[in-house]
Structure 1
Amino acid sequence: MNKQEIISTLKEIGLTEYEAKIYISLLQEHPSNGNAIATSSGVPPAKVYEALRRMKKRGLVYVLSGGDNGKLVRYSPLPYKELLKGKKDTFIAKLDSLEESLSEISSQSDTDWTELYLIEGYSSSIEFIQSAISDCKSEILLSCWKKEFEFLKESLERASGCGIKIVTMIFDDGHVDVPWRNFIHYSIGRGLNRHSGELSIVIDNSKTILFYALDDCPHSIVSSHPSTISITRNYIRHDIYVNRILQDFGERMVEYYGQNLDRLINDF
């Protein structure tokens, strides 16, 4: 760090340009009188004594009197270690006070800010979901297509082996050999196509991941907000409920709503 950089840094911690130059000059040679300080520091003589008075008041320099019946006044700097320690202690104290104040302000907010972010890319999304499954502590609720399920199956099996409660629904080819409850989506052309590219998962009722897996712009939205968790959880559960009804009463539903349930699916 050259001299100008040192001056700039001293200015950042509260000294003026002149004060910084005088302080460096005194560190190099002290005690010194005003004229000597002006010469060595480059500060104009008319400004030196004004700056020294301010520095004395702030404890940055000490005044030494002697010679000529005590009329000879010279100056010495506050040792640099004491200067830095004082600035550091003051700065830390201000940070602590600021943290406390900001915490109080933040706690007064009515908004509960929670995790919400975007993950772009198919592989990145799958890896994130696999990691979330591995970190699960109690419960997983998942609906997805067979393609994505195959990528997640190993992580799900490990979680199940650790006692995690798992419920899944697979939109296509739902017959899979797994030790947890898995539901089959009723195969209805248009109704099923509405789920194209979807994957919804709720982890521990504290995080939800919504993965849109179509080839043109695969991405995931991750949220820990209670609203998104509740909506996603209810969406998956209601989809399972409806499909269980369709499995149990399919013939009667087709008789009432028509082939592929057109009068129901196409209603809106």
Structure 2
Amino acid sequence: MLQKFGFSQYESQVYEALLSSNTPLDTTSIVHSSNVPKAKIYEVLNKMSDKGMVLTTISGKKKLYLAVPLETIIQKLTATFKQDIQELKTFTPRKVTTDDHIWTLKDYQSIISEVETLILDAKQSIILSAWNEELERFLPLLEQKEKEGIDVEVLIIGKLHTSLKNLHSLHPHQDHKKLEPSQLISVDEQIILFAGIENNKWKAIKTESQPFVKFFTDFFYHDVALAHITEKYQEQLLQDDKMKRLLTRLRY
């Protein structure tokens, strides 16, 4: 129960055992009801006491333990979380030189948060391509950055209404075989993040390496050119079997 909040498995087991008991427990009873090894129980209880998770008392020759009420623990965790957030807000990272590493990032929400951070940090320019479902969440930020004078250029796969001035739309044909969502963002011509689906899970790479930044920037404009070509000549292109096979093999 408490492992999600940074407590150990044994601490969680002991707390649940104490919380489930109608009366205070001694160490022997805690071992029995929590399945925590006897050799570990005193160490675990001491740590829990230091963290303010248990109440202790002496009854005769026995030391008894009682769980701090769950509501108190919730309030404690909430207060600690808010304090940690405030400390994060005041943290100033040290400046570093250009990082040529290629970093891998997993977890969909982490990727979305990283894209949002890149947009917020943009000082000069943003280029971004994504499917309409993914792009929609970024529109308020992108529109605000454009109002602030940032050069914003977007390629959208599908349809979406927006006030952005520099917008390109690509509409894949219904016969496309590789319609997998992806996201590409380049900020200030200094950093890129490219995300796609791998084994049914989102995965991204992020780098400041200039050869990769240039490559993915060229990749973006390749798709922009393709969008305008297919928009203007789609009917003619799809009548050509060879061109149709090539176009429908592209991954968007």
Which of 153, 160, 172 matches 1:187?
Answer: 172
Q: Find the counterpart in structure 2 of residue 212 from structure 1.
A: 196
Is 1:238 aligned to residue 231 of structure 2?
no
Q: CA deviation at 1:208?
A: 0.3
SS at match of 1:189: coil
Q: CA deviation at 1:229?
A: 0.5
> Is the CA contact 1:257–1:264 (under 8 Å) kept in the aligned structure 2?
no
SS at match of 1:132: helix
Q: CA deviation at 1:120?
A: 1.6
The separation in 1 between residues aligned to 2:208 and 2:218, in whole angstroms, is 15
Two-structure CA RMSD over aligned residues (Å):
2.5
Which of 233, 239, 262 matches 2:245?
Answer: 262
Point out where structure 1 has 5 or more consecutive residues left out of the alignment: 1-111
Which 4+ stretches in 1 moved above 6 angstroms?
none
Per-residue CA deviation, residues 231-259 of structure 1 (Å, 9 max, x unaligned), is 1111110111012011111222122337x
Q: CA deviation at 1:187?
A: 2.2
Task: Tell me the amino acid that sits aligned with residue 114 of structure 1.
Answer: D
Is 1:170 aligned to residue 160 of structure 2?
no
Per-residue CA deviation, residues 197-235 of structure 1 (Å, 9 max, x unaligned), is 211111111000011257832222110001111111111
Which of 84, 109, 116 matches 2:102?
Answer: 116
The separation in 1 between residues aligned to 2:183 and 2:249, in whole angstroms, is 23
SS at match of 1:114: coil
Which of 143, 150, 158 matches 1:157?
Answer: 143
SS at match of 1:231: helix
Distance 1:123 1:176, change over 3 A: same
- Greater RCO (CA < 8 Å, at least 6 residues apart): 2
User: What is the count of residue pairs matched by the alignment?
Assistant: 153
Structure with higher Rg: it is 1
The correspondence of residues 12-31 of structure 1 with structure 2, limited to 5 A, is: none
Task: Tell me the amino acid that sits aligned with residue 262 of structure 1.
Answer: R
Task: Tell me the amino acid that sits aligned with residue 168 of structure 2.
Answer: F
Point out where structure 2 has 5 or more consecutive residues left out of the alignment: 1-97
Is 1:202 aligned to residue 212 of structure 2?
no
> Is the CA contact 2:99–2:207 (under 8 Å) kept in the aligned structure 1?
no
The separation in 2 between residues aligned to 1:237 and 1:228, in whole angstroms, is 14
The separation in 2 between residues aligned to 1:207 and 1:134, in whole angstroms, is 13
SS at match of 2:222: helix
SS at match of 2:195: strand
Which of 94, 116, 124 matches 1:130?
Answer: 116
